Amino acid sequence: MPEQLARNEWEDRRMPGSATSYLSTLATLAMTFVGFSSLVIIFRQALGGEMSPLDVLLTKIFIQLGFIVTAGAMLPILVALFTASEAFVWRSSSGVVAVPTLLFAWRYPARRRAASGVGTPWPVWIDVGVLLAVGGTLTANAAGATLAPRAATFAACLTAILCVSGLAYLQALDSLLRGHWARSRK
């Protein structure tokens, strides 16, 4: 009987299966994105160009954001294995993911300017704004500023980071192709 009670207590503290399933899928998608985004290097070289400092930065940022999502998606599952309360799982995970997300968004415009020598284009500022909003939402979830720390809020924030990464990848690819077409017309 004590063994059964201990098992039930563990099940009560464990994350819902839907959260675990969603976060595991998100981690898989993020790692796939990391691998796929590395193709920018190969694509750039196939077009006959060398990697500019901006190309290197863009490749790094896609990898960084992909790893933030991957690690973030795995973190609550790991914390839950330690039989932490559900509120602790979402507060701690949100706080841990908020830090690199906010640091990334805050530092990215300066990193981009250093690599490219020009200002940050307005579509990139939108991406940065979304990342800042996501970091703020994660911070609110960590602080319990919402009604209660929630799995849905955490998962939505990680999904938003991955979506912004994907859109930024498409923006970078478009810029790369426009530059190649402009050079090939000369």
In a domain, 6, yes or no: no
The per-residue pLDDT for range 17-26, each reduced to its tens digit, is 788 888 988 8
The per-residue pLDDT for range 64-75, each reduced to its tens digit, is 999 999 999 999
Q: What is the pLDDT of residue 94?
A: 94
Token couple for 100? 């690199």
- Pick the closest to residue 108 from 46, 165, 151, 159 (CA basis): 165
What's the total number of domains in the chain? Answer: 1
In a domain, 123, yes or no: yes
Measure CA 95 to chain center: 14
Judged against a pLDDT cut of 80, whether residue 102 lies above it is answered with: yes
In a domain, 115, yes or no: yes
3-state DSSP call for residue 86? helix
Q: Is residue 146 within a helix (H) or strand (E), and if so which, with residue range?
A: none
Q: Is residue 152 within a helix (H) or strand (E), and if so which, with residue range?
A: helix 151-185
Distance separating alpha carbons of residues 94 and 143, to the nearest angstrom: 9
Instruction: Find the mean pLDDT for residues 153-157.
Output: 92
Q: What's the pTM?
A: 0.81
How many C-beta atoms lie closer than 10 Å to residue 80's C-beta? Answer: 22
Residue span of the structural domain in which 116 resides? 18-185
% of the chain beyond a pLDDT of 70: 80
Q: How far is CA 39 from CA 58, 84, 141, 142, 180, in A?
A: 12, 39, 35, 35, 16
In a domain, 10, yes or no: no
In a domain, 100, yes or no: yes
How many C-beta atoms lie closer than 10 Å to residue 121's C-beta? Answer: 13
Confidence of residue 54 (pLDDT cuts 50, 70, 90): confident
Judged against a pLDDT cut of 70, whether residue 174 lies above it is answered with: yes
In a domain, 74, yes or no: yes
Judged against a pLDDT cut of 70, whether residue 76 lies above it is answered with: yes
Q: What is the pLDDT of residue 146?
A: 65
Q: What is the pLDDT of residue 103?
A: 96
Token pair 């976060």: residue? 23
Distance separating alpha carbons of residues 101 and 110, to the nearest angstrom: 15
Confidence of residue 83 (pLDDT cuts 50, 70, 90): confident
In a domain, 7, yes or no: no
Judged against a pLDDT cut of 90, whether residue 157 lies above it is answered with: yes
Q: What is the pLDDT of residue 128?
A: 93
Confidence of residue 180 (pLDDT cuts 50, 70, 90): low
Torsion of CA 110, 141, 37, 21, to 10 degrees: 170
The per-residue pLDDT for range 4-46, each reduced to its tens digit, is 544 444 444 456 678 888 898 889 889 888 888 877 667 666 7
Distance separating alpha carbons of residues 114 and 152, to the nearest angstrom: 37
In a domain, 155, yes or no: yes
Cα distance between the two ends of the chain: 81
